[in-house]
Amino acid sequence: MKDIALTLREEFFPHWLIYALLATIIVLSAIKSQKEMVFAQMKAAFFKPPSTLPEAKENLSFRNLTNYLMLLNYFVVSGLAIYMVLLYFDRTAYWMVFLPASIYFFQLFSLYFVNFISGEYLKVRENIILLNFITHILGIVIIPLLIIWILNPDLSQYMPKCLFYVVILFYIIRLVRGIFMAIHNKVLWFYIILYLCALEIWPIMVGYLVLSPNFIR
């Protein structure tokens, strides 16, 4: 009888990553047990303005602890995603793990800046709530993708692109929803175009220039 050699699966990522992801799942489970309506209304918020859903509106505001926990989950999970991408491409620019949080705060600052120069708080508030909603959802969606990647390192050539497309998809959803909400609130097209060019498009160009030396060969 021929000896059967067992080959262990190659471990590309450190073990602590899976434990970190499990910790985020535990936190989300605790939130769900206490605030079940937060998750129940997420599907509805894709088709209706989040501010029209009382439970969603409350938990997406900065006066609620749930919002901060969901944002923290996104910062951690997205940071882990970038860390895994850096490991895959054998890069050491670990400062990039803070990039998702930085982008979020820039977008938030941009909306508050628009509110400052326009004085239309109620209209801009809709977009702030939408930003938090999309960020919460993205923090949940990324978790299973990272777990699949860790458990299946053979998919490494596909997962960075998959993560990129998911992030871009949610970015487009937020942008399109935000434009329709602005039109519904009778915001002039001049201000919409000015906002898109000054506070949405050029940050993407800056991000491209920052990432190019690290990932684009």
Whether 24 is covered by a domain: the verdict is yes
Whether 115 is covered by a domain: the verdict is yes
Q: Which domain holds residue 183?
A: 16-215
In terms of pTM, does the model score above 0.75? Answer: yes
pLDDT digits (tens, 9 = 90+) for 107-164: 888 888 877 877 777 777 888 888 888 899 999 999 999 999 999 988 889 999 999 9
Whether 5 is covered by a domain: the verdict is no
Q: How many domains does the chain have?
A: 1
Whether 85 is covered by a domain: the verdict is yes
Whether 63 is covered by a domain: the verdict is yes
Q: What is the pLDDT along the chain (217 residues), one digit of tens a residue?
A: 444 444 434 567 899 999 999 999 999 998 888 776 666 666 666 667 666 666 666 666 777 888 899 999 999 999 999 999 999 988 888 999 999 999 899 888 888 887 787 777 777 788 888 888 889 999 999 999 999 999 998 888 999 999 999 999 998 888 888 888 878 777 777 777 777 776 777 777 776 776 666 655 5
3-state secondary structure the chain: CCCCCCCCCCCCCCCHHHHHHHHHHHHHHHHHHHCHHHHHCHHHHCCCCHHHCHHHHHHCCCCCHHHHHHHHHHHHHHHHHHHHHHHHCCCCCHHHHHHHHHHHHHHHHHHHHHHHHHCCHHHHHHHHHHHHHHHHHHHHHHHHHHHHHHHCHHHCCCHHHHHHHHHHHHHHHHHHHHHHHHHHCCCCHHHHHHHHHHHHHHHHHHHHHHHHHHHCC
Whether 3 is covered by a domain: the verdict is no
